[in-house]
Amino acid sequence: MNHIATPAAATTSATSAAKHEKYVPFAPVKLTDRQWPNRTIEKAPVWCSVDLRDGNQALIEPMGPDRKRAMFDALLKMGFKEIEIGFPAASQTDFDFCREIIEGGKIPDGVTIQVLTQAREELIRRTFEGIKGAKRAIVHLYNSTSELQRRVVFGLDRQGIVDIAVAGTKLIKQLAAEHPETEIVLQYSPESFTGTELEFALEICEAVMETWGASAANKVILNLPATVEMSTPNIHADQIEWFCRNMKNRDAAIISLHPHNDRGTGVAAAELGMLAGADRVEGTLFGNGERTGNVDVITLALNLLTQGVDPELRIDDINEIVRVAEYCTQLPVHPRHPYAGELVFTAFSGSHQDAINKGLKALAKSNHGTWEVPYLPIDPQDLGRSYEAVIRINSQSGKGGIAYVLEKDYGIQIPRRLQIEFSKTVQRIADETGKELAPADIHNAFKAEYLDIDAPLALIEHSTEPRGPNSGARVLNVVVSRDGVVSTLKGSGKGPIDAFLDALRQGAGIDLHVVDYREHAVGEGEDAQACAYVEVKTNDERTLFGVGMDADIVTASLRALVSAANRASR
């Protein structure tokens, strides 16, 4: 058996502190007068989806015909005008799919398909067989240009790499002339651009442009891929700006970005690359791709939306896009994925919930259309999501979130001090279960604590009558059950609440003093209920709440006092 020594094996005895010494920092670009930091993104780039090619090749189970069609249809629905549909010369599945959508008339007017090919004659010729009959196609030619690959993979000098690109360009130009029924756009990628000396990347790209005869009327797409993300995003931006500023014929090229996410900063690199002068971005839905993935087009597009820029993609049903992407890739979208994850519009923290609740209410009362809600950078409804899932309850939650759930789902608008009181009940339940509480769990806990109390006192019926002519007072006759014994109590006061307090004091020895009273309707029309809240103080100086609900507002108020009396007796 042969044993191959690896760097890890060779340095097993080395201390972890020395591991960094085998890595070389990425050299910065000498660009002292860089302009990109002072710019803002004011329009969307030209988007090109590479889900069906770059994304597909990274899947454990590459897409078959059904999943390819589902992805293609989803991309069309979102509004992509350029879609890389595959590598027809390298895969029979890709070739067949290319023929299917061309022969089947599945490519709408205004949409351009893109196909990838290496700079090899047999592959280029097979590519043209794949796109035969298309109205317009981007032929994406690439060869690797980085210093590392020139040295350890190809064993070629710079001129040898340039010759490969030029030969491929000449053949594409020849075949394009032989197929005038198809408008051919050339795209060239110096693969591993980020690992290529800038002056050499520019040299080879300009050689391709000259061979093609690029002009302002016949632009070449120069795709500058971060095939491996190797530097911080600011250096990537410097590379793009240097390239754009040093080109001979900038107006003859569309500068395209193809970031990967090896350092976890693909989105940032793309945004800074756009600031630096790029016109176009290639990426995938939710960032699927080799290793850590391609740049995430959904995140990029919605970042633009939050800055007041039209992303020029339709993302108004994010749940449907997630569903299709998960079906096609057989990969889950992470619950914390920006904008799209199941939990990204969900607050569990009490302070966050309270702020969101107040922000939504303030927004509803405002007269302007500007989105301003704490902790929510985008309106979930713009993405087809609802507010119902914004606030969810667990042991980290607070009063604001609990109040939001009760009001949003059940129309119960509990006063602030009651929010504080009831939050302790919810906290105890959440701590005991260790789980998230559904809205129904919160509602059931509220009913058990305030409305459906199995306690000594129960209201059966009541009636009122004037105490005397012009007295302004009312006499309340109320039938109650106390510890199973039915009795009639009588009290008087300025209103039913005052009279019931008097009746409880005289007939039951229950002495309560009302600190605050509130009421509101729950629902509308004939099915509407009144919800009454009383905050009372007991003789032992405790302050607590009672809640009552009934179709009749007086009955709801008396039930609230019964609720408070029962809770005081615990």
Give the annotated binding-site residues for Mg(2+): 54, 258, 260, 294
Helices (H), 340-379: 350-365
Q: Give the tokens for residue 301.
A: 């597009």
Is residue 259 within 8 A of residue 226, CB to CB? The reply is: yes
Parallel, antiparallel or unpaired: strands 112-118 and 512-522: unpaired
> Among candidates 363, 365, 384, which has minimal Cα distance to 319?
384
> Among candidates 56, 39, 520, which has minimal Cα distance to 274?
39
Q: Give the tokens for residue 169.
A: 């360009």
Token pair 């090109």 is found at 48
> Among candidates 448, 453, 474, which has minimal Cα distance to 562?
453
Phi, psi of 75 (to 5 degrees): -65, -40
Phi, psi of 489 (to 5 degrees): -110, 150
CA-CA distance, 280 to 237, in Å (whole number)? 14
CA-CA distance, 500 to 505, in Å (whole number)? 8
Give the 3-state secondary structure of residue 426. helix
Binding region: 54, 258, 260, 294
E-strand stretches of 396-484 = 457-466, 474-482
Residues 6+ apart with CB under 8 A from 9: none
CA-CA distance, 485 to 456, in Å (whole number)? 9
What does the chain come to in residues? Answer: 570
b or e along 138-162 (b: 16 or more beta carbons within 10 Å of the residue's beta carbon)? bbbbbbbbbeebbeeeeebebeebb
Beta bridge partner(s), residue 482: 457, 485
CA-CA-CA-CA torsion for 282, 287, 290, 292, nearest 10 degrees? 130
> Among candidates 395, 411, 306, 402, which has minimal Cα distance to 357?
402
* Opening angle at CA 483, ends 481 and 484, nearest 5: 60
Burial class (CB in 10 A: 0-12, 13-18, 19+), 562: buried
